[in-house]
Structure 1
Amino acid sequence: MKRLIAAMVIALPMFGSAALAQETVKIGYIDPLSGGGASVGEGGLKTFQYLADELNAKGGILGKKVEIVPLDNKTNPQESLIQAQKAIDSGVRYITQGNGSSVAGALADFVTKYNERNPGKEVLYFNYAAVDPVLTNEKCSFWHFRWDANSDIKMEALTNYMKDQPSIKKVYLINQDYSFGQSVRTTARAMLSKKRSDIQIVGDELHPLLKITDFAPYIAKIKASGADTVVTGNWGQDIALLLKAAADAGLKVSWYTYYAGGAGGPTAIKQTGLNHQVFQITEGFANVAHKESQDFEKAFRAKVDLSLWYPRAVNEMRMFAAAADKAKSVDPVKVAQALEGMKFEVFNGGQGEMRKDDHQFFQPIYVSSFGDIPAGQFDEEKTGWGWKQVAKIDTAQTMLPTTCKMDRP
């Protein structure tokens, strides 16, 4: 991988100052638009296109039109580097990606090395969903900014809620076999052991990423283990199909998840009949009591026919515009400097902060459960069920220390 990155960076053509003067601010959206991750990738693309339209309706960024350039990476790190090269060749100075921490790691390395070799022609990488903690710790980069809470922050909040649930006795861990899934399982074990030493881990499973079409054998193992609770970081089709298999098998356990609200997840939860027994940890959800975000949700659903999975994408795009306005420039170096330490009113209400030390964004985060909701609230995937808040963690309580030692230009 390192040799591939180095070769590609050297091969990238130089481009002149005309890129800085372009009338359009292009953002390369590098995410899966085919294969097992396509459902979440397509949803993300629609979200960013909607947000670009929102900015353009207000005059764009410093008077320049914002354009989202879709690039299909098939959730593959090597393909992502090819798409990043294509983006830069076409004048893109900003890329965004979220699905897959292995992809994120490759992109962060690529952008860092490219910028080292091409001063004056820098590219910024905006990460909206890849949450492996290493990206803002030992592998941090000045050229990478993350708007989602990393998996350690999420697990800290999730296990703080779980420790106060006396019904949790036996936990089964099932996760995707790559850097993020491995991080979830390791951190879950450590934090549950520390906070509730009486909880028994009765299973710990890793499976291939976005390759399983039938999770029935895995559900059979969970049933046989006697687990009362499952913890998973699965996303995309891997959470939807896992929950579908649980529904088919009549598995009656509680689920603590990162991404049950993604494409197909709500429908599968409804099929299980587990009313407010499936939980997720997010930076927001449709039924947060906040008028501005609920007005946005209503307009978004009317135009896109999709619920907003990514409040963090709204924060990313709005902060990009605010940073450019502060810097009075769309030059990536100046925008990056303006983003460092920026405090911002987040989409669902409350103040967020982009920590200068590691470029990790901090914001309020929520534990919510899925099931019956009062009339008039937002449901998901036309199931009649929706998300309900069970806990909120304020920004200050989400801040974990970092080991980042950042080199700055």
Structure 2
Amino acid sequence: MRFPVRAVSMMVAASLSAGAAFAQKGETVKVAWIDPLSGLMASVGQNQLKSYQFVAEKLNASNPAGVKFEILSIDNKLSPAETLNALKSAADQGVRYVVQGLGSGAATALIDGINKHNQRNPGKEIVFLNYAAVDPDLTNSKCSFWHFRLDADTSMKMEAMTTYIKDQKDVQKVYLINQNYAHGHQVAKFAKENLKRKRPDIQVVGDDLHPLAQVRDFAPYVAKIKASGADTIITGNWGSDLALLVKAANDAGLTAKFYTYYANFGGTPTALGKVANGRVYQIGYGHYNLGGLNGQLVAEFKKRFNDDYYSAATYSGLQMLSIAMAKAKSTDPVKVAYAMEGLKFKTFNGDVEMRKTDHQMQQPLFLAQWAPVDAKNSYNVEGTGMTFVPVKQFDAYVSSTPTSCQMKRPS
């Protein structure tokens, strides 16, 4: 049988193209980590970078796609403008996947920048894995096919937190203090809405916003909290903004309880110390005493770096990426993004799903309380003799919130 020369040429080209699309065993996949390595949040950034490098090394030994992850770090100085510069640098280096999490402002800039880059550069698309930026708008009005969030968003965490608070009769007067950017605004918004719906008798006696990563002395804020008579503080603060806040609270003898999102972030546990025993709660997708795979990761990270592994979404993110690459039989971002939509898999905190409609991870959440280490909860956080003890687990459906996302997908 004879084929026309042009037909044969087209078949060969198609064959080569298909072969190139398949993930090759041992293929290197560059992942750009874009977060702060300077300024007041540098210590958190350094921990997150080590976490990604640690996870990449573990998964490079074995992952479903057989690829090798290479982590490239770029300091964005916690600035949206610097984040866009970092994105350009990553694109110039041939990076097709980026990860970021410290700051929803930077995440918003990345989504916008990646949308524009991908529109202008077909065949060189970039996918964004967001491991900690939790502004709900990122998977609602600003949702993007190229963006996948691994953490639970602000509204989801507040849904779980207030489900617990509604049954705590000692909570009568709540003070809100948050960072003055998208995430902080959303924490305050959803706290007020949820408390009004679930416990209308609770009074919100204060609502403060302060500059992100600029305040060095929180004593004036703590004085206002004491004067308000608040018995409970709700805050989405993280990094130095939470560590310095709780230090000022301890120094002033403030005995109110703290309900937080990020009390496990580096430096905050040391600031809490034993004096905060029983008074601090954290809502999140895991905790140090979860056991199983999480326990192995936490113990190994501590042994290697003498530091705490507190963002396990670094693991589930690269794990999801490798599963999707195996499913797509490709490392091409377009094919992999489609493979991640609706993907269900088991990870460190149980069964999870990357919701297709908005690319928001659906997963269990846990409320944990700051308490002394014991036989059952033995992880010693920052050498304080204290740990986060699980108080309540929430199945994924409890904290799941609806989305207004109108996803636009590439053809």
Same fold by TM-score greater than 0.5: yes
Q: For residues 247-275 of structure 1, what are the alpha-carbon distances to aligned partners after superposition, in whole Å with 9 as ceiling and x for unaligned?
A: 1111111000000110111111115x121
Query: Which residue is equivalent to 2:148?
Result: 145
Structure 1 residue 160 and structure 2 residue 170: aligned?
Answer: no
Q: TM-score, normalised by structure 2?
A: 0.92
1:5-404 paired onto structure 2 within 5 Å: 23-58=27-62, 62-270=65-273, 273-288=275-290, 290-348=291-349, 350-375=350-375, 377-404=378-405
Q: For residues 371-391 of structure 1, what are the alpha-carbon distances to aligned partners after superposition, in whole Å with 9 as ceiling and x for unaligned?
A: 113137101000000010111
Shift of 1:23: 4.2
Shift of 1:133: 0.2
Task: Measure the CA separation in 1 of the matches of 2:398 and 2:188.
Answer: 22
SS in 2 for 1:96: strand
Unaligned runs of 5+ in 1: 1-16
Shift of 1:135: 0.4
Q: Which has the larger Rg?
A: 2
Unaligned runs of 5+ in 2: 1-19
User: Contact 2:372–2:387 at 8 Å: present in 1 too?
Assistant: yes
Counterpart amino acid of residue 270 in structure 1? G
Aligned length: 388
Which 4+ runs in 1 deviate beyond 3 A?
Answer: 20-23, 60-64
User: Contact 1:379–1:387 at 8 Å: present in 2 too?
Assistant: no
Shift of 1:26: 0.6
Task: Measure the CA separation in 2 of the matches of 1:342 and 1:52.
Answer: 20
Task: Measure the CA separation in 1 of the matches of 2:293 and 2:110.
Answer: 34
Q: For residues 217-263 of structure 1, what are the alpha-carbon distances to aligned partners after superposition, in whole Å with 9 as ceiling and x for unaligned?
A: 11111111111110000011000010111111111110000001101
Shift of 1:354: 0.3
Q: TM-score, normalised by structure 1?
A: 0.92
Task: Measure the CA separation in 2 of the matches of 1:156 and 1:195.
Answer: 10
Task: Measure the CA separation in 1 of the matches of 2:404 and 2:132.
Answer: 20
SS in 1 for 2:209: strand
SS in 2 for 1:296: helix
Q: For residues 112-131 of structure 1, what are the alpha-carbon distances to aligned partners after superposition, in whole Å with 9 as ceiling and x for unaligned?
A: 11111111110000000000
CA gap of 1:61–1:351, structure 2 versus 1, over 3 A, is: closer
Task: Measure the CA separation in 1 of the matches of 2:205 and 2:392.
Answer: 26
Task: Measure the CA separation in 1 of the matches of 2:354 and 2:116.
Answer: 23
Q: For residues 69-122 of structure 1, what are the alpha-carbon distances to aligned partners after superposition, in whole Å with 9 as ceiling and x for unaligned?
A: 000001000000001100110111000000000110010011011111111110
User: RMSD of the alignment, in Å?
Assistant: 1.6
Percent pairwise identity: 50
